[in-house]
């Protein structure tokens, strides 16, 4: 059982209101980002910080045995209708948002942005 600093009263309100199912993965463990955990996996649950029995983020997920305070879990596809509907239930502040883009490959990101920018310029020329 793991507790995280956000829950269904915050960015994970989509679990209650939209019946979303989230799939946490290890983003950082022991200070290393995007490195596969060497620890064995165990069936775990992930809970929000409020001590409210409804604040369950994920009932069953395989996570490394050795997760510690300071390690990070990632939750893909947490975009619209998450943080904008967060409350400050029980005195908990709205969580800070950290954007990630998978494995960092700066050359690929630059190429994608350049292609996207050129497509926008081409569309403006057509108008």
Alpha-carbon span 20 to 5, nearest angstrom: 19
Query: How does strand 56-64 pair with strand 25-29?
Result: unpaired
Q: Tell me, yes or no, if 51 is annotated catalytic.
A: yes
Catalytic residue among 51, 56, 58, 84: 51
How many helices, marked H, and strands, marked E, lie in the chain? Answer: 2, 6
Alpha-carbon span 10 to 109, nearest angstrom: 30
Alpha-carbon span 101 to 64, nearest angstrom: 22
Alpha-carbon span 60 to 75, nearest angstrom: 14
Question: Order of strands across the sheet with 2-3?
Answer: 2-3, 41-47, 56-64
Catalytic residue annotation = 51
């Amino acid at each position: 059982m793991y507790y995280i600093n956000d829950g269904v009263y915050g960015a994970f309100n989509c679990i209650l209101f939209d019946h979303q199912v989230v799939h946490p993965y290890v983003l950082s463990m022991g200070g290393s980002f995007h490195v596969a955990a060497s620890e064995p996996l165990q069936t775990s649950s992930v809970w929000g910080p409020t001590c409210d029995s409804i604040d369950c983020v994920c009932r069953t997920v395989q996570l490394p045995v050795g997760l510690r305070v300071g390690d990070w879990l990632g939750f893909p596809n947490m975009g619209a209708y998450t943080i904008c509907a967060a409350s400050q239930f029980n005195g908990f502040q709205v969580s800070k948002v950290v954007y990630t883009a998978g494995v960092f490959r700066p050359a690929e990101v630059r190429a994608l942005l350049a292609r996207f920018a050129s497509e926008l310029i081409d569309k403006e020329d057509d108008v």
